[in-house]
Structure formats: structure tokens, C-alpha cells
Amino acid sequence: MADEARARRVADRIKTVTAANLESIVKDPDLGFVTVTDVRVTGDLQHASLFYTVFGDEDQRARTARLLEENKGRLRSFVGKQLGIRLTPSLEFVADGIPENAAHVEDLLREARERDAEVAKAASGARYAGEADPYRHEREEAADAEVPDAGER
């Protein structure tokens, strides 16, 4: 069992090597603009999950996923030569959902800003139902205590 620090170092090295050499290994014009966003390696260094994003439409993402799957063996062989460790981890390519999640968060933030604007617009002409400051203050309480009520005289 490898320690976590070594697994992180191996994951970082796989990410760097794969990202820098992906186009030269796959050599296909259908490969989209791929960004390797993260790599996670199991504790025993036997399996690596490579998370990636593709710039383009859904068709481009599908073609890129197919090409990565077809060239998985070549990529693993290259990674194994570059790492120089006894066992080369198997590679799994996972499409990262970061762009979709970011778009969803942006939509939620836009909706929140619109609702805040509506509330601010409604509150701009609003008035207090009673007094502006409904709480009693110490000064007022002291003044009320000094003046006797009409019933006490």
C-alpha cells in the first residue's frame, strides 16, 4: 500500500505527462481541445481516473470520449514509460462536469440577483407600519419615570 503523498505525486505526474502529450499520442484531427482537470490515483497505485473537459458542443465531446477510449492503451504505455514505476496504473477517462455545474451556478446566481432587485424595488416605497423605531430607549424611560401620571396626583 502506497502512502497518500506518493499517490498524489504520481497523480500529478500522470496529469502533467498526459496533458502535455495527449495530441502527439492520439494524432487525430477529431480530438477536441481537451483539458485534463484532475487525476485521482487509488492508494495501491493500480488505477488512475483522469477527469477532462472538452471545449465544444456535445458532438465534439462524444468524438473526443471515443478517441480517448480507443487510445487508452497507447496512453497507458506512454504514461508507464514516463513514470518509471514498477506497475503502470490502468487509466480511466471521466468527462468532468465542471462547465455544466458552473453554468448551473451562474443561472442560480442570476436568478438570485433578479429576485433581490425585485425585493429592493418593492422595498423602495415601503413605510413602517408603526413608528420608525418601535423600541424604547433608556433616555425615554428615564424621562417617563420623572413625570408622574395624571392619576398619581
Look at residue 143 and tell me whether its pLDDT is greater than 90.
Answer: no
Within a domain: 78: yes
Per the structure, the complete domain to which residue 37 belongs is given by: 4-96
Alpha-carbon distance of 143 to 139, in angstroms, equals 6
Look at residue 60 and tell me whether its pLDDT is greater than 70.
Answer: yes
Within a domain: 132: no
The better pLDDT of the pair 17, 30 is held by 17
Q: What is the pTM of this model?
A: 0.63
Q: What is the model's pLDDT at position 115?
A: 92
Question: Residue-wise over 118-139: b if at least 16 C-beta within 10 A, else e?
Answer: eeeeeeeeeeeeeeeeeeeeee
Averaged pLDDT score across all residues of the chain: 83
Within a domain: 17: yes
Within a domain: 107: no
Within a domain: 149: no
| 6: phi then psi, degrees, rounded to nearest 5 | -65, -40
Alpha-carbon distance of 15 to 52, in angstroms, equals 10
Q: What is the model's pLDDT at position 30?
A: 74
Q: What is the model's pLDDT at position 34?
A: 85
Within a domain: 129: no
Look at residue 153 and tell me whether its pLDDT is greater than 60.
Answer: no
Within a domain: 91: yes
Alpha-carbon distance of 71 to 26, in angstroms, equals 6
Q: What is the model's pLDDT at position 111?
A: 93
Q: Which H or E run includes 39?
A: strand 33-41
Within a domain: 22: yes
Confidence category of residue 127, pLDDT binned at 50, 70, 90: confident
Q: What is the model's pLDDT at position 5?
A: 86
Q: What is the model's pLDDT at position 113?
A: 93
Q: What is the model's pLDDT at position 110?
A: 93
CATH number at residue 47: 3.30.300.20
Number of domains in the chain: 1
Compute the chain's Rg from CA coordinates.
32
Confidence category of residue 112, pLDDT binned at 50, 70, 90: very high
The percentage of residues in the chain with a pLDDT greater than 70, rounded to a whole number, is: 89
